[in-house]
Amino acid sequence: MAIGVLQTVGRGLKQTRSGLHASSPVNVALRSLSNVGDESWFKSLFVRKVIPRKDAHSHLLAKKEDNNLYKIQFHNVKPECLDAYNELCEDVLPSIHTDPEYPCELVGTWNTWYGEQDQAVHLWRYRGGYPALTEVMNKLRQNKKFMEYRNERGKMLLSRRNQLLLEFSFWNEPVPRPGPNIYELRSYQLRPGTMIEWGNYWARAIEIRQQNQEAVGGFFSQIGSLYTVHHLWAYKDLQSRENTRNAAWQRDGWDEVVYYTVPLIQHMESRIMIPMKNSPLK
- The secondary structure of 26-50 as a DSSP string is HHHHHHHHHHHT-HHHHHHTT----
In this structure, the chain runs to a length of 282
pLDDT at 227 over 80: yes
Q: Is residue 243 part of a domain?
A: yes
Q: Is residue 45 part of a domain?
A: no
Q: Is residue 88 part of a domain?
A: yes
Q: Is residue 241 part of a domain?
A: yes
Residue 234 belongs to domain spanning: 61-275
Nearest partner of 8 among 49, 23, 17, judged by Cα: 23
- Which residue has better confidence, 207 or 16? 207
pLDDT at 266 over 50: yes
Q: Is residue 170 part of a domain?
A: yes
Q: Is residue 43 part of a domain?
A: no
pLDDT at 59 over 70: no
| Number of Cβ within a 10 Å radius of residue 185 | 24
Q: Is residue 24 part of a domain?
A: no
Minimum mean pLDDT range among 1-5, 29-33, 140-144, 235-239: 29-33
- Number of separate domains in the chain: 1
Q: Is residue 11 part of a domain?
A: no
Is 149:158 a contact under the CB 8 Å cutoff?
no
- Which residue has better confidence, 59 or 178? 178
Domain CATH for 136: 3.30.70.100
What is the pLDDT at residue 166? 95
What is the pLDDT at residue 209? 86
What is the pLDDT at residue 57? 56
Is 202:170 a contact under the CB 8 Å cutoff?
yes
pTM above 0.95, yes or no: no
For residues 96-110, average pLDDT? 96
Provide the b/e sequence for 93-118 (b: ≥16 CB within 10 Å).
Answer: bbebbeeeebbbbbbbbbbbeeeeeb
Is 102:93 a contact under the CB 8 Å cutoff?
no
What is the pLDDT at residue 52? 52
Instruction: Quote the mean pLDDT of the chain.
Output: 84
For helices 195-208 and 254-261, angle between their N-to-C axes, nearest 10 degrees: 160
pLDDT band at 60 (very low <50, low <70, confident <90, very high): low
